[in-house]
């Protein structure tokens, strides 16, 4: 009988400890990298990471939850490696994540990130683009400087992931301009995998590489991360419409008001039901006060919510299957499981 | 007595042969890299390199003169390496150059590149940014995949150079917004070195690394490229005002009409002469038809042209000195000398 790692009753406490430990390991490496930048680029990066305010005074240090570096370190440990050896690689993954955030915010004209004004709103488009470029270079330089035998393979993987992230962002931007009837659900899933799954998969795979894992285990870790990342995106999209009972302050329905073509919406639009036509009609016009409830109901009646929840559960089960291939011992997989539970329950 | 490599009577023919040979070596590697991109990113890169028109039909293939890859290969050969081993590194340098062109054109709102509409005017800002991001990733992935023992050191150098290019572009953009009295000549030279000298220096240094050159020779090659790159920029700026007698179709004075703070202009503005005040006054208002001659004359009378020509000659002499340290045999240095002559005579 095949042993299966099942998501245990990991409480948020455990994930919090794993994340806290990763932050403590990776932050000094990240700070060193950012401090090596020339003044103009450093200023923007320090602001983006929350280490400085726009005027150069110390910031609150809300640099995000460091899920991806925690995955690198946990995957390395799960495969029997020493997580201390993978700290540079974990920092490199976090730099790549932040480079894409800086650029995506410029392209998407997003004005808020981690409860603060985005870098482009403070420093302008050009500087936000340049700081992103510099962070990508820092990340890949960090791996090129790393004497660990896995560093080249990790750089190949991470750079390949950047290409996938770019293609995903392109499709995402392109889809937002299409009409409700012009998007297929498969395209939408592929885009979510490229935008969210790819880097989470790479983080896990790179951890495996640093532990000297066999090729098939590295691939299984990548697949685990991709599936878990997609589950996270699906759940995040559900929260974007129906809200998160465990979370306060997030307005439910914001994605619908913004006419976002999130996964449950596209599932609803492509369902072939009468509610799909109603939703398409609503989406064809700008959002009007008072029609939120009707829109939410249309997505539900068209099966968007059920589809997303079944898909998320399916992706999680595939993720667990992949993880059990790479790490048959559920105890060794503990850190990865806790993180997966954490991100899919709460968003990252 | 120290032997000195002096710029010989290299005719343009010799440089053309060196460039032609570099293109033939590097193009297949570049094409393979670009062809490995997902469709959306590939399309933009193929257009940018001139291999395709915007509609996907074959292009004229005007991918630029490949000066930087030719420098990588020539430097490798000059230091006794096999230039065939450095082809991937040469392609990586060219990818980095093109990534910066894609992004700089977005930031500078430049609408023409290599006699064609820039990528952002055809595909939009977001896609041009993404394609640039993808080219940076491709370049550093190419080095990470390269089994040559110098590939990691080359990647460290190239990624470090990207950071310098970003800082240079930041300062360049910032300077264009400053008033005539707010820029020092030293800042302007430092920016030109970061924007133009750094990558030319890195190209030469990486060629040396691939030949297994000693550290001090690699540094001398870097310094050679930086000084030659600065000489090129100075001469290019002179051409931007007084035109190039050997070149047709370039309107003289275009930089002045655009109120560009090129090196001769900043030298003139900071000269403390009466002509400097006149030039500052002219630059404080938008360009008006008919005042070109007066502006050109003010730059000349304030000593901007003489300064630039003396500086360029001085930089070339420093470049030659650095080259003679790394490559004492003028015959071995032949390819590098021909390329230097070529770029400083004609612009790149």
What pLDDT shows up at residue B33?
Answer: 97
- Over residues B138-167, the mean pLDDT reads 98
CA distance B156 to chain A (A): 5
What pLDDT shows up at residue B83?
Answer: 85
Residues of B in contact with A37 (CB under 8 A): 163, 167
In this structure, is residue B7 part of a structural domain?
no
What pLDDT shows up at residue A64?
Answer: 78
pLDDT-derived band at B87, boundaries 50, 70, 90:
very high
Cβ atoms < 10 Å from Cβ of A8: 14
In this structure, is residue A154 part of a structural domain?
yes
Q: Which of B38, B107, B162 has its CB closest to that of A134?
A: B162
Residue pLDDT, tens place only, A63-87:
778 999 999 999 999 999 998 999 9
Residues of B in contact with A170 (CB under 8 A): 40-41, 126-127, 130
Please tell me the distance from the alpha carbon of residue B320 to that of residue A229, in angstroms, as a whole number: 55
B134–A163: do the CB atoms touch at under 8 Å?
Answer: yes
Number of independent structural domains in chain A: 1
What pLDDT shows up at residue A249?
Answer: 52
CA distance B116 to chain A (A): 23
| B9, pLDDT greater than 80 | no
CA distance A6 to chain B (A): 35
What pLDDT shows up at residue B253?
Answer: 80
Are A45 and A135 spatial neighbours (Cβ–Cβ below 8 Å)?
Answer: yes
Q: Which residue of A has its CA nearest to B131?
A: A166
Contacts of B213 (CB under 8 A, 6+ apart): B79, B81, B221, B326
CA distance B105 to chain A (A): 11
- Over residues B2-12, the mean pLDDT reads 49
What pLDDT shows up at residue A347?
Answer: 47
Q: Please provide the DSSP assignment of A171-220 as one string.
A: HHHHHHTS-GGG--HHHHHHHHIIIIIHHHHHHHHHHHHHTT--HHHHHH
Does A119 touch chain B if contact means CB atoms closer than 8 Å?
Answer: no
Does B143 touch chain A if contact means CB atoms closer than 8 Å?
Answer: yes
In this structure, is residue A136 part of a structural domain?
yes
Residues of A in contact with B173 (CB under 8 A): 126-127
B162–A103: do the CB atoms touch at under 8 Å?
Answer: no
Does B308 touch chain A if contact means CB atoms closer than 8 Å?
Answer: no
Q: Which residue of B has its CA nearest to A37?
A: B163
B126–A170: do the CB atoms touch at under 8 Å?
Answer: yes
A129–B143: do the CB atoms touch at under 8 Å?
Answer: no
In this structure, is residue A46 part of a structural domain?
yes
Are B220 and B333 spatial neighbours (Cβ–Cβ below 8 Å)?
Answer: no
In this structure, is residue A320 part of a structural domain?
yes
Element (H, E) at A255: helix A254-257
Residues of B in contact with A159 (CB under 8 A): 137-138, 140-141, 144
Residue pLDDT, tens place only, B261-299:
999 999 999 999 999 999 999 999 998 888 999 999 999
Please tell me the distance from the alpha carbon of residue A187 to that of residue B165, in angstroms, as a whole number: 36
Residues of B in contact with A107 (CB under 8 A): 125-126, 129-130
Does A258 touch chain B if contact means CB atoms closer than 8 Å?
Answer: no
Domain residues for B204?
A: 12-346
Does B131 touch chain A if contact means CB atoms closer than 8 Å?
Answer: yes
CA distance B147 to chain A (A): 9
What pLDDT shows up at residue B345?
Answer: 73
Phi-psi map region of B113: left, alpha, beta (phi>0 left; psi -120 to 50 alpha): beta
In this structure, is residue B2 part of a structural domain?
no
Q: Identify the CATH number of the domain in which residue B63 sits.
A: 1.10.600.10
Lowest pLDDT segment from A57-61, A122-126, B103-107, B206-210: A57-61
Tell the residue number behind the tokens 């110390």, with chain if given: A58
pLDDT-derived band at B14, boundaries 50, 70, 90:
confident
Using alpha carbons, list the distances in angstroms from residue B231 to A250, B196, B223.
57, 10, 12
Residues in chain A with pLDDT values less than 70: 1-11, 245-251, 346-348
Q: Which residue of A has its CA nearest to B144?
A: A152
In this structure, is residue B4 part of a structural domain?
no
Residues in chain B: 348
CA distance B127 to chain A (A): 7
Residue pLDDT, tens place only, B309-348:
999 999 999 999 999 999 999 999 999 999 998 887 754 4
Up-side HSE of residue A112: CA atoms within 13 Å toward CB? Answer: 2
In this structure, is residue B276 part of a structural domain?
yes
| B4, pLDDT greater than 50 | no
Tell the residue number behind the tokens 């293609």, with chain if given: A167
Please tell me the distance from the alpha carbon of residue A95 to that of residue A32, in angstroms, as a whole number: 12
Q: Evaluate whether ipTM surpasses 0.90.
A: yes
Residue pLDDT, tens place only, B109-146:
999 998 899 999 999 999 999 999 999 999 999 999 99
Please tell me the distance from the alpha carbon of residue A160 to that of residue B192, in angstroms, as a whole number: 32
A144–B152: do the CB atoms touch at under 8 Å?
Answer: yes
Residues of B in contact with A171 (CB under 8 A): 40
Q: Which is nearest to A91 in space by CA: A211, A207, A12? A: A207
What pLDDT shows up at residue A346?
Answer: 56
Does A125 touch chain B if contact means CB atoms closer than 8 Å?
Answer: yes
């Amino acid at each position: 009988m095949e042993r299966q790692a099942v998501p245990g009753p990991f409480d948020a406490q455990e994930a919090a400890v794993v994340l806290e430990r990763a932050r403590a390991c990776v932050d000094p490496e990240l700070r060193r990298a950012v401090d090596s930048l020339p003044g103009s680029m450093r200023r923007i990066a320090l602001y983006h990471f929350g280490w400085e305010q726009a005027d150069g005074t110390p910031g609150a240090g809300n640099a995000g939850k460091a899920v991806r570096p925690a995955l690198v370190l946990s995957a390395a440990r799960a495969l029997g490696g020493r997580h201390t050896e993978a700290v540079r690689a974990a920092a490199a993954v976090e730099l790549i994540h932040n480079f894409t955030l800086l650029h995506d915010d410029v392209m998407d004209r997003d004005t808020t990130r981690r409860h603060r004004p985005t870098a482009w709103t403070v420093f302008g488009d050009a500087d936000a683009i340049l700081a992103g470029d510099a962070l990508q270079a820092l990340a890949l330089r960090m791996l090129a400087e790393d004497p660990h035998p896995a560093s080249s393979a990790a750089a190949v993987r991470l750079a390949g992931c950047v290409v996938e992230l770019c293609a995903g962002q392109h499709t995402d931007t392109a889809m937002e301009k299409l009409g409700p009837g012009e998007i297929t659900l498969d395209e939408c899933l592929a885009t979510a995998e490229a935008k969210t799954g790819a880097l989470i998969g790479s983080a896990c795979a790179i951890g495996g590489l640093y532990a000297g894992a066999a090729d098939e285990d590295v691939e299984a870790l990548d697949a685990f991360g991709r599936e878990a990342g997609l589950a996270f995106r699906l759940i995040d999209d559900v929260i974007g419409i129906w809200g998160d009972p465990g979370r306060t302050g997030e307005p439910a329905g914001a994605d619908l008001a913004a006419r976002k073509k999130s996964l449950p919406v596209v599932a609803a639009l492509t369902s072939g039901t009468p509610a799909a036509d109603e939703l398409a009609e609503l989406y064809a016009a700008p959002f009007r006060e008072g029609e939120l409830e009707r829109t939410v109901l249309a997505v539900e009646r068209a099966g968007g919510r059920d589809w997303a929840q079944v898909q998320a559960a399916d992706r999680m089960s595939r993720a667990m299957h992949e993880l059990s291939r790479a790490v048959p011992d559920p105890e060794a997989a503990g850190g990865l499981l806790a993180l997966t539970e954490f991100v899919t329950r709460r968003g990252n």
